[in-house]
Amino acid sequence: MQQIIHFYPNSSGIQFIESFKKFISREFTSGYIHNFSSEKFLGNLQDRKDDNDIVLITAHGDEEHIVGENIKGRDIYLPFEALSNLKNSFVFAFACSTAKLGERICNEHEAISYLGFNDDIALVVKSDSYKVELTIILKKIYISALKTSFERFLKKGLQVKQLSLTISKLLLEEHSKIIKMSSEDIIQTFKLPRRVVENSLFRVKLQNELLNTISTVSNRIEIRGEDWFVPWYYLEDAPNNQLKKLLSELKKVKKIEGNSHKSYYYLMMAAISKKIGDDKEMNNYKQLLESIERESLFDIDLLLET
């Protein structure tokens, strides 16, 4: 079973992500694992059997580390070497500046794909006034975009490149919705004081400075590794017409790096072919899969039955 392994440590400044964690755990109860400590997270990665899991990281980060929990005033840092058990996984890191780290994880630890950010994710709107109020709205926008995009990724079978575009699009759409809201709606939705919301300067800041922040963050999303990755989770309930469309799109993939990446690709193609009743195609991809040398080759027939 493809798991969702979520690293969301006890760390300052990211408490607003709690509602996203609750949403994921409620919507995707089967196979969801929440890790609040670095030790638990690394332990769960180590226990994987080269499964093609989805690893979701909502934490602080930099170019060389994922930052874990704070213990007695000191942050726990997870460097590249500690993340060696991300092989065969897709990593979505809502963490600042980890795109370069993600590139190394894909190239050397053989993660299939890494979606991250090449610079800081602004958690505060830089403004000379109404910074607190604008930041409240900013964090709500982040959570709404994360919830919707991740749900579409799993339930609609988005490729990673589509997930990246969806996040960017939703960030801007959420801002557009807020701009069109009445003062009363903004007051009720974000619990802001009326004297603030009805101030014309606040409206200007909402239009310009909040948009600048969102646009900057949106442009910092980057993909490392394979951009075609599709979650196995999607296959279970997907209708045939959508599976046929997905199969057609995946056939356009021209180059895949590494045998572990090819294994997941061929397995996905075989599984989709089986689902739509194309046994000839299924057997073709199954043979390609069987031709790849792996240290721990799984039972292909058993996996295609799931």
* % of the chain residues with pLDDT over 70: 95
Phi, psi at 166, each rounded to 5°: -65, -45
Domains and CATH numbers, the chain: 1-121 (3.40.50), 122-219 (no CATH), 238-305 (no CATH)
Sheet holding 74-79, edge to edge: 60-61, 65-71, 74-79
Residue 295 pLDDT level (bands cut at 50, 70, 90) = very low
Identify which has the larger pLDDT, 51 or 135. Answer: 135
| Residue among 73, 74, 114, 75 nearest 97 (CA) | 114
The whole-number pLDDT of residue 297 equals 44
Using the predicted structure, report yes or no on whether residue 123 has a pLDDT greater than 80: yes
Measured from the Cβ of residue 219, the count of other Cβ atoms closer than 10 Å reads 12
The whole-number pLDDT of residue 48 equals 85
Cα–Cα distance between 268 and 57 in angstroms, integer?
A: 24
Using the predicted structure, report yes or no on whether residue 257 has a pLDDT greater than 90: no
Residue 1 pLDDT level (bands cut at 50, 70, 90) = low
Q: Give me the mean pLDDT over the 164-168 stretch.
A: 97
Cα–Cα distance between 150 and 141 in angstroms, integer?
A: 14
Using the predicted structure, report yes or no on whether residue 52 has a pLDDT greater than 90: no
Mean pLDDT computed over every residue of the chain: 92
Residue in the block written with tokens 């073709």: 284
Residue 210 pLDDT level (bands cut at 50, 70, 90) = very high
The whole-number pLDDT of residue 32 equals 93
The whole-number pLDDT of residue 296 equals 41
Using the predicted structure, report yes or no on whether residue 158 has a pLDDT greater than 60: yes
Q: Give me the mean pLDDT over the 18-38 stretch.
A: 92
Measured from the Cβ of residue 292, the count of other Cβ atoms closer than 10 Å reads 14
The whole-number pLDDT of residue 290 equals 85
How do beta strands 60-61 and 32-35 pair?
Answer: unpaired
Residue 300 pLDDT level (bands cut at 50, 70, 90) = low
146 contacts 124 by C-beta, under 8 angstroms: no
Using the predicted structure, report yes or no on whether residue 305 has a pLDDT greater than 70: no
The whole-number pLDDT of residue 303 equals 56
What's the whole-model pTM score?
Answer: 0.92
94 contacts 57 by C-beta, under 8 angstroms: yes
Instruction: Pull the structure tokens for residue 172.
Output: 């801007």
Q: What is the pLDDT of residues 70-122, one digit of tens each?
A: 998 899 999 999 999 999 999 999 999 999 999 999 999 999 999 999 999 99
The whole-number pLDDT of residue 24 equals 94
**What are the distances in angstroms from CA 215 to CA 121, 125, 163, 211?**
11, 12, 17, 6
| Residue among 66, 89, 76 nearest 5 (CA) | 89
